[in-house]
Each structure stands twice: as structure tokens, then as C-alpha cells.
């Protein structure tokens, strides 16, 4: 059973260059990625999104407090507000960049999906995710990484809304292109400036996220949405990685050179020694022999 669709074959963008380098970005404009806007001001905590998620993904219902292998989203009560927690579907996902086998991929459409047939289970994605989203099937013999896949296979790739966006009756979870969601969020803040804290979380954080938040109170109050700089995380490792080929070439040439010089010198020393030893021997043995003289010369 696989969780993700065939990677690289979402129909729109077959040629995917794991575009994390500063020069070869993903081919979709980040503003055109599909995302989710979570409006915590409108959320009533009815749990319809939670139930819809369980249903679409066929997950056993176990009312857990936090994300786990059977729970891709939770609704947390923070102060007076309800705040959903789920995969952020980053524009430049750390999980995608660290995966040694490209099992996690940012699709051209926007969702960050997972191919269990590639996964080796190193769990580097879990270590790298700044939001602590991916979870693991610890008790399985063929464990999978589990997180929200934005209903990619079953719904979004077929042009439908995610289960949660479909289920929300209050406009608290809205699916759309990032640019449209940002415009909508701006409008909501503008229309009700006294209700909203004037900030869209996820517009710029870590290079932007697919899941974005509106809140009545400053985001410092929401522990799982920390203050992040705008710099995408994959750049941090890429800055080192992309230098390695140059280092290999330079260090290789340098070492070959050193080996050559050192060995050449030792050879010369040996030759010299051999010569003198040979000459001495010849001299003491048969000093008058003309052939031997010639040889040593």
C-alpha cells in the first residue's frame, strides 16, 4: 500500500529538478502553489476538519492530543482560540531537501507528498522539520512517515478541495493558491482590524509556507508557530554541499602533487645513497677495472 502517488508524475510538471539551490528553484511560482488558510478567528473548534481528515485518509479514530501516525491534524485550544496544527507544506521544504532518496517531494501543485517505496526510514525528515510535523509508525516492520499530504492523491490532484477545507462550514480552513489566500487574508484583516492581529503567518516564514494562519492574538502565543526568519532552511546545507565538487578537485590535485613531490625526493635520496654505496664498493674491490668505472659514471 502506498501513500503517495508516483513521484514526478503529477501531469503538470514531469521534469522536476529538486529545485532547492538558489539557481534552480522549483518550477512553479511559489504564489501559485496550492495552500490552506487557517483563520483561527473564525474557527469554532467543531472538529469537522479533524473528522473529515480521518475519513479521507482512512485513519483509525483515536482522539489524540497531538499529531501521530493516525492523526494528520489536531485542533488545539490556545487561550480563547482554536488553532489547527498540520503540515505547513513549505515552499522550500526542509524535509524534501534532506531526504537522501527523494521520498518526500514538493509537487508542482503545492502539497508535500511521500513515496513509501523510496523511503529507507532514516527519519532525517523528522529531525529537520522546523515545525516538528512528520511522525513515524514505530511499531511497524515496514514503517512509514506519516503527515498531512494535503489529500493530494485522492482529492487535490483531481481538482477537489482537501477534506478539511471541504468540511469547514465557517471559512476557517480555505484552500486555494497562495496568492489568492494571501489576498483574502489581507482583506479579512482590513475589514475587521479590531478582530485580527495584522499578520499573516507563513507568508514569508522560511521562504513561505503553504499553510498560512490568521490570529486574533500575536503569534508568540502559539507555540507550534515559532518566529522564524525568512531564509529557507535548505539553503543552509546547500551552501556547504555545492562547494564540495570544487573542494574534491582541488584537494585531489593537491594531494597527488604532494605525493609526487615527496616520493620523488625520497627516490632521489635513495638513488644518491645507492650510487655512493655502489661507487665505494667498486673502488675498494677493483679500482683498476675500467668497465666498472664506466658503470658507476
Partner 1 sequence: MSLISTTAIRNRAGFKPTLWTFVLAFVLIAGAYYSFVRFTHGLGDVSALSDKVPWGLWVGFDVLCGVGLAAGGFTITAMVYIFNIERFHHITRPTVLTAYLGYILVSVALMYDIGRPYAIWHPLFMWNPHSVMFEVSLCVTVYTSVLTIEFLPVILERLRMHRAVAFLRRLIIPLVIVGVLLSTLHQSSLGTVFLIAPYKVHPLWYSPLLPIFFFVSAVFAGLATTVFESFMSYRFFRKQLDTEVLDALLRMAGLLLALYFALKLIDLKNKAAFSMLYQLNSTEVRMFLLEMALIVLPLALIMMPRVRGTRRGMFLISVLVILGFVLNRMNVSVTAFSAYHGVNYFPTFPEFMISAFMVGIGFVAFYFAVKHFAIFPEEEPFKQDYDDKLRAGMELPEIEKRPAL
Q: How many residues bind partner 1 (CB under 8 A)?
A: 55
In angstroms, what is the minimal distance from the CB of 274 to partner 1? Answer: 16
The verdict on 233 binding partner 1 (CB under 8 A) reads yes
Which of residues 238, 279, 282, 292 is near partner 1 by CB under 8 A? Answer: 238
Applying CB under 8 A, the span of 164-172, 195-203, 245-253, 273-281 interacting with partner 1 comes to: 245-253
String of contacts with partner 1 for each residue 254-293, x by CB under 8 A? -xx-xx--xx--x---------------------------
Q: Tell me whether residue 195 or residue 229 sits nearer to partner 1 (CB atom).
A: 229
Site for partner 1 in 4-63 (CB under 8 A): 18, 20-21
Which of residues 22, 193, 198, 252 is near partner 1 by CB under 8 A? Answer: 252
Dist CA 210 CA 88 (whole Å): 6
Applying CB under 8 A, the span of 53-61, 149-157, 192-200, 248-256 interacting with partner 1 comes to: 248-256
Burial per residue of 62-96, b for 16 or more beta-carbon CB atoms within 10 angstroms, e otherwise: eeeeebbbbbbbbbbeeeebbbbbbbbbbbbbbbb
Report the Cα 141 to chain-centroid distance in Å. Answer: 25
Task: List Cβ neighbours of 240 (8 Å cut-off, separation of 6 or more).
Answer: none
Applying CB under 8 A, the span of 32-40, 74-82, 167-175, 251-259 interacting with partner 1 comes to: 251-259
Applying CB under 8 A, the span of 186-194, 195-203, 250-258, 282-290 interacting with partner 1 comes to: 250-258
The verdict on 221 binding partner 1 (CB under 8 A) reads no
Report which secondary-structure segment, H or E, holds 176. strand 173-177
From first CA to last CA, the distance across the chain in angstroms is: 81
Pull the grid cell for residue 18.
529538486
Site for partner 1 in 120-149 (CB under 8 A): 120-124, 126-128, 130, 132, 135-143
Task: List Cβ neighbours of 196 (8 Å cut-off, separation of 6 or more).
Answer: 41, 188, 189, 214, 215, 216
- Please answer whether residues 35 and 176 qualify as being in contact, where contact means their C-beta atoms are separated by less than 8 angstroms: yes
Which of residues 169, 183, 241, 277 is near partner 1 by CB under 8 A? Answer: 241
Dist CA 208 CA 201 (whole Å): 9
133, with CB counted inside 10 A (0-12, 13-18, 19+), is buried
In angstroms, what is the minimal distance from the CB of 119 to partner 1? Answer: 6
In angstroms, what is the minimal distance from the CB of 42 to partner 1? Answer: 29
The verdict on 251 binding partner 1 (CB under 8 A) reads yes
Please tell me the number of Cα atoms within 13 Å of 250 on its side-chain side: 5
Q: Outline where 111-177 has alpha helix (H).
A: 124-128, 163-167
Pull the grid cell for residue 275.
650510487
String of contacts with partner 1 for each residue 53-72, x by CB under 8 A? --------------xx----
**Residues in touch with partner 1 (CB under 8 A):** 18, 20-21, 67-68, 94, 97-103, 118-124, 126-128, 130, 132, 135-143, 226, 228, 233-234, 236-238, 240-241, 244, 247-248, 251-252, 255-256, 258-259, 262-263, 266
Amino acid at each position: 500500500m502506498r501513500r503517495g502517488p508516483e513521484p514526478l508524475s503529477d501531469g503538470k510538471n514531469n521534469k522536476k529538478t529538486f529545485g532547492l539551490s538558489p539557481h534552480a528553484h522549483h518550477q512553479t511560482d511559489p504564489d501559485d502553489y496550492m495552500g490552506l488558510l487557517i483563520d483561527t478567528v473564525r474557527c469554532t473548534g467543531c472538529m469537522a476538519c479533524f473528522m473529515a481528515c480521518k475519513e479521507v485518509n482512512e485513519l483509525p479514530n483515536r482522539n489524540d492530543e497531538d499529531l501521530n501516525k493516525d492523526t494528520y491534524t489536531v485542533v488545539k485550544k490556545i487561550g480563547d482560540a482554536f488553532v489547527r496544527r498540520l503540515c505547513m507544506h513549505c515552499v522550500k521544504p526542509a524535509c524534501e531537501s534532506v531526504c537522501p532518496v527523494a521520498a518526500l517531494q514538493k509537487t508542482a501543485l503545492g502539497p508535500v507528498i511521500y513515496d513509501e517505496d523510496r523511503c529507507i526510514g532514516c527519519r532525517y525528515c523528522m529531525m529537520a522539520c522546523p515545525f516538528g510535523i512528520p511522525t513515524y509508525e514505530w511499531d511497524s516492520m515496514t514503517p512509514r512517515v506519516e503527515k498531512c499530504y494535503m489529500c493530494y492523491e485522492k482529492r487535490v490532484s483531481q481538482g477537489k478541495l482537501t477534506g478539511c477545507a471541504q468540511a469547514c462550514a465557517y471559512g476557517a480552513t480555505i484552500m486555494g493558491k497562495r496568492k489568492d489566500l494571501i489576498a483574502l487574508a489581507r482583506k479579512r484583516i482590513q475589514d475587521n482590524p479590531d478582530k485580527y492581529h495584522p499578520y499573516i503567518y507563513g507568508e514569508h516564514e522560511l521562504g513561505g509556507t503553504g499553510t498560512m494562519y490568521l490570529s486574533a492574538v500575536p503569534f508568540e502565543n502559539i507555540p507550534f508557530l515559532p518566529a522564524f526568519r525568512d531564509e529557507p532552511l535548505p539553503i543552509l546545507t546547500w551552501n556547504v554541499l555545492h562547494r564540495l565538487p570544487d573542494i574534491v578537485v582541488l584537494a585531489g590535485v593537491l594531494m597527488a602533487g604532494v605525493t609526487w613531490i615527496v616520493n620523488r625526493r625520497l627516490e632521489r635520496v635513495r638513488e644518491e645513497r645507492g650510487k655512493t654505496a655502489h661507487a665505494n664498493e667498486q673502488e675498494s674491490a677493483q679500482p683498476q677495472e675500467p668497465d666498472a668505472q664506466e658503470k658507476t659514471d
